[in-house]
Structure 1
């Protein structure tokens, strides 16, 4: 049984005028089916507006689809009872793109990471503090960062805190929604390396949502391509993306700039 199974999911958003709703049939996701196995990472590529973030919200239980089914550890997340939903919330975590809007600016790093622990674990005050320090150190920070507030961290450091919070309960699956796209290249490389290490260490599975082909290739085992709400390609091995003759995949590959400007070519239309 797959850890995550998405079956024929279709979702629409209606557009609105001043007086009423219209165009309710505009599909954001159309008949999406995919699966993620334990200990693997599925990279989901797509340009802006392809439906990537909506798919992430549907999988997280934040956006109920009009049609289809999302199974997590064999449970339908939209039909589960209260007890099962609580278990799902523990085992299914997320790291969003904007590290600053993902946290309460009035909370210290210690309080940010403590939230899920307080909700799900029965730890003494000393045990909880020790656990938080261990999590900070695991993501490359230290005990001296416990009492700092979000504005005192760089974007890369704060994303590390978000990652520490996400792994605090040792979840089964983490949805990474453009989680490195707002970072500079150095921090992107460091965070991707950290995510790979954590995946191996904790046996994590990821849904890595991104528009960045290089980032997806770095961390993913398999790659999917979303285009206008449709999963146009799904490659079980990530290398297949680079040999695919599908026009969407070819277009995305052609958009990659060479590492050095001297190797870049200019297209004339």
Structure 2
């Protein structure tokens, strides 16, 4: 098993006021999930469901109060030194806001080359060639490496973020709302690109989103969060259309008019009612 999240609970401390003492605000409650190598798990939920916090816990950015995060069978919060460095190499992320995720003073070459500098011993010529190859892999040109972030569109900059994430051929990439800020054309391109990279490089994804249509397009299986808990999960993503849980129905309502499979079912159900 590539990733195991076991009964993770996490809370943020709320600010103390004159009228009340500080207290823990629960964000995650006994969350468990698994992800096998080569798979994509879609983690769905509305704003505030806790899915991005869970992503941070998995990435090692937020240590949970209780529970375990096992990545490649190692407890991410108990390993240290070279062992933790090796795990971090195999775990990368792409976030929603591509502009804030990069240093505006760095060129595309420097942005994509950062993980290579940290983990690989390449000559300057070898690294430049590698960056050019990565740019072409995500649909840009090798010559784009001299450009700065403000010279790219949002969709292009997200491709650069993806190029940086795949530079080390990681085992798992956490994609946190990575297409939600893009228009439909760029969303489609990025989803197609992610699917191709998954097949070509044997990547695994944790795809965090509120967009059930995007998750259905990319993912192999789905899980739905509400108020810090996983309330429903689907090993076969098609089974999500049969869920009776209110949180799932709320997410489905946003995509039903566009989904031919469900439109047909909805018309049939209406005719029988």
**Residues 180-189 or 239-248, more deviating:** 239-248
Matches of 1:256 and 1:218, distance apart in 2: 12
CA deviation map 1:208-244 (0-9, x unaligned): 0000000000000000000000000111111111111
Distance 1:21 1:142, change over 3 A: farther
Q: Distance in 1 between matches of 2:21 and 2:119?
A: 41
Q: In structure 1, how many angstroms separate the alpha carbons of the residues matched to 2:148 and 2:250? A: 42
**4+ long deviations beyond 6 Å:** none
- Structure 1 or 2: more helix by fraction: 2
Q: Does the 8 Å CA contact 1:139/1:164 hold for their aligned counterparts?
A: yes
In structure 2, the CA distance between the partners of 1:38 and 1:21, relative to structure 1 (3 Å rule), is: farther
Coordinate RMSD, CA, aligned: 1.5
Residue 10 of structure 2 corresponds to 11
Partners of 2:179 and 2:247 lie apart in 1 by: 23
Distance 1:150 1:247, change over 3 A: same
Distance across 1 between alignment mates of 2:94 and 2:48: 20
Deviates more, 1:246-255 or 1:50-59: 246-255
1:181 paired residue number: 180
| Within-5 A mapping of 1:61-210 | 61-210=60-209
Provide TM-score, normalisation by structure 2: 0.92
Task: Judge conservation of contact 1:14–1:21 (CA < 8 Å) in 2.
Answer: no
SS at match of 2:257: coil
Q: Deviations over 1:84-142 (max 9, x none)?
A: 11001100000000000000000000000010000000111111111000000000001
Matches within 5 A, 1:182-261: 182-256=181-255, 258-259=257-258
CA pair 255-86 structure 1, distance change in 2 beyond 3 A: same
Tell me if structure 2 keeps the 8 A contact 1:40–1:204.
Answer: yes
Tell me how far apart the structure 1 counterparts of residues 16 and 217 of structure 2 sit (CA, whole Å).
43
List per-residue Cα deviations over 1:32-59 (Å, max 9, x = no partner): 0000000000000000000010000000
State the shift of 1:257 in Å: 5.6
Q: In 1, distance between residues paired with 2:122 and 2:151?
A: 28
Unaligned runs of 5+ in 2: 264-273
* Distance in structure 2 (CA, Å) of the matches to 1:114 and 1:248: 41
Structure 1 stretches of 5 or more lacking a match? 264-269
Say if 2:40 is the partner of 1:41.
yes
